[in-house]
Amino acid sequence: MAEGTRVMGIDFGMRRVGVAVSDPLRIIAQGVDTLENNSSLVGKVTDIVRRMSVGKIVVGKPLKLSGQAGDSAMEAAKFAQRLREGLKKELLDVDVVEWDERFTTTMAHRTQLELGVKKKERQKKGNLDRMASQLILQSYLDSHK
């Protein structure tokens, strides 16, 4: 990965997808968007990759407590593969990796409660997904320092 490129974190969901991006030094994760999971999803992610100089994408894979892959993890893996193919088609050399994301949505919800985020804000579509993507990415960044 080239120096100064960012890492993107994705919290994949069947309805919405949270997106976070690191700073150029790859130290801090910042939530940037929540996208609808539809036929234009790969194209929208590709646009963010170009706009924000992303060199790697980390897709959260929600494994079960046992470590086994359930339906959600299988869907995330399928998305990661579609993303790899879409990036390759666009001639973008971006590595896509899958990352264990057990408990990130629960942690995102708890974090919002601890920060005193009002219920109305917590219930806005996408807030939880964006924060979960940020936690996935921060976990990845912290483990690769």
Q: 1.10.10.10, 3.30.420.140, 3.10.450.50, 3.40.50.300: which CATH number matches 6-143?
A: 3.30.420.140
pTM, 2 dp: 0.85
Residue 89 pLDDT level (bands cut at 50, 70, 90): very high
pLDDT digits (tens, 9 = 90+) for 105-125: 555 556 555 666 565 554 556
According to DSSP, the β-strands at 95-100 and 54-61 are: parallel
Count the helix, strand and coil residues of the chain and give each as a percent rounded to the nearest 5: 45, 25, 35
Q: Which of 76, 38, 36, 72 is nearest to 57 (CA)?
A: 76
